[in-house]
Amino acid sequence: MSNGNAERETLLSESSKAVAVEILVHGAQSRARLAQRMGLSPATLTRSVRPLVDAGVLIEADAVRNPGRGRAFLPLDVVPERFRFIGVKLTDKAIYAVVTDVRSRVLDQVTVELRSLQVGDVVDAVTAVVGDIRSRSEQPVTAVGVTVGGRVEDGELVANSPFLHWRDVPLRSLLSTAIGLPVHLDNDVVGLTKSQQWFGHGKGFSSFALLTVGAGVGYGLVINDVMVPTFVTPVSHYPVDPSGPLCPLGHRGCMTAFLSSQSIASAVSAAHGRIIGYDDVLEMAKGGDPTAVRVVREAARALGRATSAITALTGVSRIILSGEGVHLVDVAWPSVEEGRAEYDIDRALHGELILRPMDFIEWARGAAVIAIQQEFPGTQMAIQ
């Protein structure tokens, strides 16, 4: 029997989805501003907005009065409380997980040591972490995003992860079955780049690049608001100095040879005849240790050369530097500048470097954004 309060489903148009994303990323806006920014007629905007408002995805926020005697208007905004997402960043040592709202604000977080890299053990561990953090969420979780270091194919397969020592692992389907929620899988630098594009230091820039250094070298690129597929291995082994050190794969003077935390630590350890960690190398460089100073400066110069190449090849004016090893920039900034200017004739063409160290919780937030971009606002809405 029919019920006047029964829900019905309406399929969202592409313009409705675009309006929802525009408000999600750029904040509350009036209907007039939305129509202007998106090039929509008032009638099309009304048709696009109505199902989102009826479903409670958008609300009319507090009235804002125009300057002078203009009428007040009710800007449209998203309802952050409507959605919850879980982001999981996998490393070879730990699981980092967060719960976020639809604007990727972190509401809860947890870090759990990973005791085994066997696929079944990792799936069980991630399932347990998601179950724990999900149980503490005040709202139902919409979806889970998972990111790993390495090559991910078709959002399904971890084709090659040197950190996890995995090849051809169908991680998404394994986790989706175990968790019982939609799961979205991608490379960790992709997640971090998308997070910066929608909610971070790339927001408001139609084109930018992200370069990360740490255990490995990562690269993300956005051109004209579209994320361009980049391939991890060629970038991480991009040659910056033909007379530089060898990387583990035998490439001389590539980015990995200069910039990975292991390469930097190994070079200083070998000179001193003892094992020295990466953070200790940076401290030694600050203190004036000759070997540490030389190695860190060479790494910083290589980083500068890499950013110069990115600007020259892509034309981006903003490059975000991040990763757990990016603090070498603080220690040797003049060497970064030397590397940037080494092959440049016109310094005015330099891109803008934005230094933003991000911990693994921030990478987990990037995983949540993978899920947000896939799920928000949905393909259809339940309307009362």
Looking at the fold, whether 29 and 152 belong to one and the same domain comes out as no
Instruction: Kindly give, in sequence order, each residue whose CB lies less than 8 Å from that of residue 78, ignoring residues fewer than 6 positions away.
Output: 20, 23, 24, 57, 58, 59, 102, 103
Looking at the fold, whether 17 and 30 belong to one and the same domain comes out as yes
Looking at the fold, whether 251 and 316 belong to one and the same domain comes out as yes
Distance CA 32, CA 364 (A): 36
Pair 182, 371: CB distance under 8 Å: yes
Residue 3 lies in a domain: no
CATH number at residue 59: 1.10.10.10
Residue 217 lies in a domain: yes
Looking at the fold, whether 374 and 343 belong to one and the same domain comes out as no
pLDDT of residue 349: 59
Residue 384: closest CA among 37, 54, 148:
54
Looking at the fold, whether 235 and 327 belong to one and the same domain comes out as yes
Q: Give 88's strand partners.
A: 97, 146
Looking at the fold, whether 371 and 351 belong to one and the same domain comes out as no
pLDDT of residue 317: 85
Helices (H), the chain: 14-26, 31-38, 42-54, 119-135, 171-179, 188-199, 232-236, 255-259, 261-272, 278-286, 290-314, 328-331, 333-341, 360-375
pLDDT of residue 352: 86
Distance CA 231, CA 213 (A): 15
pLDDT of residue 99: 97
Query: Which of the listed residues 49, 78, 107 is the one where a domain comes to its end?
Result: 78
Residue 16: closest CA among 83, 102, 40:
40
* Counted domains in the chain: 3
Distance CA 86, CA 88 (A): 7
Residue 328 lies in a domain: yes
Looking at the fold, whether 19 and 87 belong to one and the same domain comes out as no
In the block, residue with structure tokens 């400066």: 297
Query: Which of the listed residues 48, 78, 108 is the one where a domain comes to its end?
Result: 78
CATH number at residue 324: 3.30.420.40
Looking at the fold, whether 274 and 306 belong to one and the same domain comes out as yes
Looking at the fold, whether 241 and 341 belong to one and the same domain comes out as yes
Residue 321 lies in a domain: yes
Residue 208 lies in a domain: yes
N-term to C-term CA, the chain: 16
> Tens digit of pLDDT per residue, the chain (384 long)?
344 444 556 678 899 999 999 999 999 999 999 999 999 999 999 999 999 999 889 998 764 445 555 555 689 999 877 899 999 999 999 999 999 999 999 999 999 999 999 999 999 999 999 999 999 998 999 999 999 998 999 999 999 998 899 999 999 999 999 999 999 999 999 999 999 999 999 998 999 999 999 988 999 999 999 999 877 666 788 898 888 999 988 999 999 999 999 999 999 999 999 999 999 999 999 999 999 999 999 999 999 999 988 988 898 989 999 999 999 999 999 999 999 888 776 665 567 899 999 999 999 999 999 999 999 997 655 544
In the block, residue with structure tokens 């982001």: 87
Looking at the fold, whether 118 and 235 belong to one and the same domain comes out as no
Looking at the fold, whether 142 and 115 belong to one and the same domain comes out as yes
Query: Tens digits of per-residue pLDDT, 228-273?
Result: 987 766 678 889 888 899 998 899 999 999 999 999 999 999 999 9
Query: Which of the listed residues 78, 102, 129 is the one where a domain comes to its end?
Result: 78
Q: Give 226's strand partners.
A: 223
Q: Model-level pTM greater than 0.95? A: no
Residue 35 lies in a domain: yes
Domain that holds residue 49: 8-78
Looking at the fold, whether 339 and 285 belong to one and the same domain comes out as yes
Residue 2 lies in a domain: no
Residue 159: phi, psi to the nearest 5? Answer: -70, -40
Residue 24 lies in a domain: yes
